[in-house]
Structure 1
Amino acid sequence: MDIVIDPAVTALRPDFGVLAVKVYGLRNGPSDDRSRGWLAEAAQGAAGPDHERVEAWRDAYRGFGAKPQRTRPSVDALLRRMPLPEINQVVDAYNSISVRHVLPVGGEDLRHYVGVARLVRAAGDEVFDTVDKGEVVVDHPEIGEVVWRDDHGVTCRRWNWRQCVRTRITEETSDALFLLERLEPMPVEELSLAGEELVGLLREITPDIRVESSLHVPG
């Protein structure tokens, strides 16, 4: 699978790893009793925001100049939102996995993705479309910020803080890329397990999906 991690990111956090999972043929829909159950179960056993894995992400943010108290890593922000928000079945699935395993999980609509997924240090002139006061606006990352991007622009700012509008997963999404991100002290084995659990939930939504995955970890 085409995933590129810039050496400048690896130099910043040599312990970074990502499990990339591409899923084809999803039939997504609004949140339902099943997906609400996933969220409720995850919330019942949720870790606190002072968990060591959350702190590892805060430290990573500080490493490229971000202030994690103002722009929180995605898993930190999610653990502070109880009850967990209902978005749609697929997003509910990956949010529940994020909370259960205390790791950031992102989802991208592949039909709106352009080229290869790349994790880089930003030049500062990349395009990022976001929402401000209900309107879609174009923004730009800060120089040196860690971002996910494709050939069109930034798909997620500050590593996993905020996703762009263009590639977010909606009820119309059929093909998706999921990025499960890990720092120490999370074991690589648990990262793989979290991916398997995510695919299991997605198969409950759509039994006949096609799945491709690749693991990118140190060493």
Structure 2
Amino acid sequence: MVKVDQKAKSWGIFVAFNELSGIRNGYPEFERAISEFEREYSKGDLEGLKDDPVVRAYRDFYWRIGIDPTKTRPAGEALRRRLMRDGKLPRISFIVDVGNVVSAKTLVPIGIYDRKKFVEEPVITISEGGEEFLGIGKKKVERVQPGVPIMLSGKAVMHIYPHRDSLLTSVDDKTTDVLVVCAGVPGVPESLVKQACDEVKDLLVKYGSAQVVKDTQIA
């Protein structure tokens, strides 16, 4: 169960989430699904993407949290741009690739976390400052500045909202049980964020034989 506390809610933050277990590697079957998606979504107006209302909403939120979205793009926009530019999405692992496909389609940032790597239920809040965070791809622990949206499990920072995940709770090749969190901000329809979470769930069930532990909920 993911909770969004009142401080985060006052920023307009909300999430959709679900939990799944028993996930198997969905390749090579999932490769066909990705290829079909790439053919469909690689077309489009790359220059006009910035004017999409969903992209606009996430960009506005990035400005609010002190990030220039023209330099560090929201995840869904970045994936869609890569697809439009190169015609392909990256291949990392089955679980991660499922999240990337749905994020590129819906433009909603999606975090997928290994359920066995944290114990206390996640809470999205606003940082007090000084919380430790080890980002994916980083070797050094960072100290979070005050006034930053974060997702905590106990005192551990799992996620800097809505754009960076912790190495400590990240999925790997041995991951079988996951928490899926889809990030909502002001101006993004709740129905779209829920749809994104449902689509991740459906793909993990269809191609990875996952079992649904907790169906999609809004917090």
Match of residue 170, structure 2, among 153, 168, 171: 168
Structure 2 equivalent of residue 99 of structure 1: 104
**Number of residue equivalences:** 211
Q: Which runs of 5+ in 1 are unaligned?
A: none
Structure 2 equivalent of residue 81 of structure 1: 82
1:144-181 alpha-carbon deviations (Å, 9 max, x no partner): 01112212421122x12121111111121111000112
Q: Which moved more, 1:110-119 or 1:203-212?
A: 203-212
1:60 shift after superposition: 1.4
- In the aligned structure 2, how far is the partner of 1:167 from the partner of 1:46? 35
- In the aligned structure 1, how far is the partner of 2:73 from the partner of 2:205? 30
Q: Which moved more, 1:66-75 or 1:38-47?
A: 38-47
Which amino acid in structure 2 is aligned with residue 26 of structure 1? I
Structure 2 equivalent of residue 8 of structure 1: 7
Secondary structure of 1:166's counterpart equals helix
Secondary structure of 1:95's counterpart equals helix
Q: TM-score, normalised by structure 2?
A: 0.83
Q: Which runs of 5+ in 2 are unaligned?
A: none
Q: TM-score, normalised by structure 1?
A: 0.83
Pair 76,152 (structure 1): closer, same or farther in 2 beyond 3 Å: same
- In the aligned structure 2, how far is the partner of 1:208 from the partner of 1:153? 27
Identical-residue share of aligned pairs (%): 24
Question: Does the CA-based 8 Å contact 1:35-1:93 persist in structure 2?
Answer: no
Q: Tell me if 1:154 matches 2:151.
A: no
Question: Does the CA-based 8 Å contact 1:46-1:99 persist in structure 2?
Answer: no
Q: Tell me if 1:28 matches 2:32.
A: no
- In the aligned structure 1, how far is the partner of 2:68 from the partner of 2:22? 38
1:122 shift after superposition: 1.0
1:205 shift after superposition: 2.5
Query: Which one has the bigger helix percentage?
Result: 2
Structure 1 equivalent of residue 199 of structure 2: 197
Question: Does the CA-based 8 Å contact 1:109-1:176 persist in structure 2?
Answer: yes
How large is the Cα RMSD of the aligned pairs? 2.5
